[in-house]
Amino acid sequence: MPFKDLSLDPRLLRSVQHLGFVKPTEIQLEAIPAVMVGRDLIVSSKTGSGKTLAYLLPMMQRLLKSRPLTKQDARALILAPTRELAKQVYAQLRLFVSNTPITSALIVGGENFNDQDKILKRKPDVIVATPGRFVDHLEHKSVFINGLEMLILDEADRMLDLGFLEQLTLINKAADHRLRQTLMFSATLDHAQVNQLALGLLKNPFRVAIGAGY
């Protein structure tokens, strides 16, 4: 099935074409329609299976189609375990936001806090962040997520291995409301902490498990 059969916004399809992608990967084919009907999602699949687009595309679709729930809050938050990973995700995101009105920011550790504070005060719609630095800004009230529409955890297992459970729990509480959709990605689900986190974060999630993971 080609991407064009997924009922995505034409602007998103154009970006996908620009990347030279014709067909969704197995994981994208399962995940995108489920997220588009509003389901929470938990995915386990190995590296290289195309998880980034599996969340970026339906996230962008929701942001383009729905009105913001509030004026002051971020609309989507993508968390990744390391600066490098967050930067890679942000680079992919930029391809999709570039021909839309959606604004975005990258918020990772090791960079100037006050500069980031200024960026956050411009109220970007989508934030890609590492959990530690994001919580610093949340506590500093540079950013508000009470009306967050999408919370996405990329490489949740690695975030837990790096000791981010406390930050993830705090973020989950700060964005706790009925209309929030939550997507969680992990290389494996044979991880007690990952399952525990999923119970706390996800509502009746659609599960996609492809391959054995690693």
Give rounded-to-5 percent helix, strand, coil for the chain.
Answer: 45, 15, 40
Q: Using an 8 Å Cβ cutoff, are 50 and 28 in contact?
A: yes
Cβ-based nearer residue to ligand ADP, 54 or 160: 54
**Closest approach of ligand ADP to the CB of residue 159, in Å:** 14
Cβ-based nearer residue to Mg ion, 51 or 75: 51
Cβ-based nearer residue to Mg ion, 39 or 51: 51
Judged by beta carbon distances under 5 to 8 A according to partner kind, the member of Mg ion, ligand ADP, none in contact with residue 25 is ligand ADP
**Angle, helices 51-65/83-97, rounded to nearest 10 degrees:** 50
Cβ-based nearer residue to ligand ADP, 49 or 104: 49
Q: Hey, what are 128's tokens?
A: 């890609």
Could you say which of 51, 75, 137, 180 contacts Mg ion (CB under 5 A)?
Answer: 51
Judged by beta carbon distances under 5 to 8 A according to partner kind, the member of Mg ion, ligand ADP, none in contact with residue 188 is none
Cβ-based nearer residue to ligand ADP, 56 or 129: 56
What is the Cα–Cα distance from 114 to 155, expressed in whole angstroms? 28
Cβ-based nearer residue to ligand ADP, 96 or 143: 96
Residues that bind ligand ADP (CB under 6 A): 21, 23-25, 28, 47-53
Q: Hey, what are 205's tokens?
A: 């999630």
**Closest approach of ligand ADP to the CB of residue 195, in Å:** 20
The b/e string for 6-26 (b: 16+ C-beta within 10 A; e otherwise) is: bebbebbbebbeeeeeeebbe
**Closest approach of Mg ion to the CB of residue 145, in Å:** 22
Q: Is 191 in the site for Mg ion (CB under 5 A)?
A: no
**Nearest alpha carbon to residue 56 among 87, 93, 84:** 93
**Closest approach of ligand ADP to the CB of residue 3, in Å:** 7
**Nearest alpha carbon to residue 150 among 195, 190, 93:** 93
Q: Using an 8 Å Cβ cutoff, are 105 and 134 in contact?
A: no
The stretches of 66-144 forming alpha helices (DSSP H) are: 83-97, 113-121, 131-139
Stretch that binds Mg ion, among 12-20, 46-54, 113-121, 138-146 (CB under 5 A): 46-54
Stretch that binds Mg ion, among 48-56, 95-103, 163-171, 172-180 (CB under 5 A): 48-56
Residues that bind Mg ion (CB under 5 A): 51
